[in-house]
Homo-oligomer: A and B are copies of this chain.
Amino acid sequence: MNPSPSPFAATPSPPYFAVIFTSRRTDGDQGYGGMTARMVELASRQPGFLGVESVRGTDDFGITVSYWASLESIRHWKQQEEHLAAQEKGRRVWYADYQVRVCEVLREYGTL
């Protein structure tokens, strides 16, 4: 494993799709850390996965953006069995509040 992978997702030229997931954590880990690593590992094996960028601040608010080749690949990932269980536990245990926004990326620029 790369000891310091880039936090940026190396996405292709638009158009492609993004899921912006914002959340506020409840207190305590309760298995959260292990789950996030597992979900990134699982997502990265899904068809159409293009990358993920994720930050959690010291105030328990976090933003994770995952990038996908199509809306179909997003739907497919949302229905993945182990991911469904994580979503259910997320609603019940890990997240005080969360919001999911499904987007089409129209253009991009920067230093990448």
Contacts and interface: CB of A to CB of B under 8 A. Distances in A.
Given A55-B61, A62-B55, A99 B104 contact: no
Contacts of A62: 55
A105 interface: yes
Contact of A98 (B14, B71, B107, B110): B110
A20 interface: yes
Interface residues of A, number: 37
Interface string A45-82: 00000000111111101110100000100000000000
A51 B62 CA distance: 16
A42 interface: no
A92 interface: no
Contacts of A59: 7
A84 interface: no
Nearest to A11: B101
7 contacts: A18-B20, A18-B103, A63-B63, A97-B110, A99-B112, A100-B108, A102-B107
